[in-house]
Amino acid sequence: MEVVIVPDAKAGGELIAGAIGALLSRKPDALLGVATGSTPLPIYRALAEKVRSGAVDASRARICQLDEYVGLPAGHPESYRSVVLREVVEPLGLSEASFMGPDGSAEDVQAACEAYDQALADAGGVDLQLLGIGTDGHIGFNEPCSSLASRTRIKTLTDQTRVDNARFFDDDIEQVPHHVITQGIGTILESRHPILLATGEGKADAVAQTVEGPVAAIVPASALQLHPHATVVVDEAAASKLKLADYFRATYAAKPLWQGI
């Protein structure tokens, strides 16, 4: 696991957008896994600007969802499909045909989970998977004590996660669904390069447990320690409880440019 400490969220977004641009230059039709929420927005803004300026060609990129609410009506503005189309697909100038995600309104939700897991495999696997982290250490919607070998499946959200997400539903927790479809931890670990971005002091405990704690289901993000090419990008606030912060800064400063992120 590589840990990169950046000054702020904007710097983290620029760094990761640069990594995506480098990937697309090597593999123009790369499958990019995207996360939702406020944390990855600096990535999408920086990447869209690179596309507009001509620095990055994303015309053949493919986009896939990390997770989706269960039960929101089709076209609901806070369904993750709507969010990804609005914040990622459209700003990059892509068509909806370039996008794939699970069907949270399916009559048979379990079958939809299995179909999405298979669709990712059929697409050749996820080349780069963007991740956020919850205050309780969850990635995707793999809540604490999720199986580290789990596949795409239905999960019940914790009260804390619903409270955290209520800001997207007019601060009304009653509007936040109780269930989601999420890529499992095992599914996420099959991506070729998972990149987790965490910003703000509120994520500091989760980051420290993820990076420096034991691999444990109680902190789902800690499973990234098992991946041969996982990157964790954190701002100074989110890095504030890392015991090895100085070491991480030193190793990144000494990293050869040819290695990239």
Q: 58: closest CA among 15, 13, 100, 24?
A: 24
DSSP for 74-93, please give it.
TT-TTSHHHHHIIIIITTTT
Alpha-carbon span 136 to 131, nearest angstrom: 14
For 16-52, b/e burial (b = at least 16 CB within 10 A) is bbbbbbebbeeeeebbbbbbbbebbebbbbbbbebbe
Cα gap 13→92, rounded to integer Å: 15
**What is the DSSP pairing of strand 128-131 with strand 31-34?**
parallel
Determine whether 115 is exposed, middle or buried from the number of CB atoms within 10 Å of its CB (0-12, 13-18, 19+): middle
Residues tagged active-site: 67, 136, 138, 143
Helices and strands, counts by H and E, the chain: 8, 10
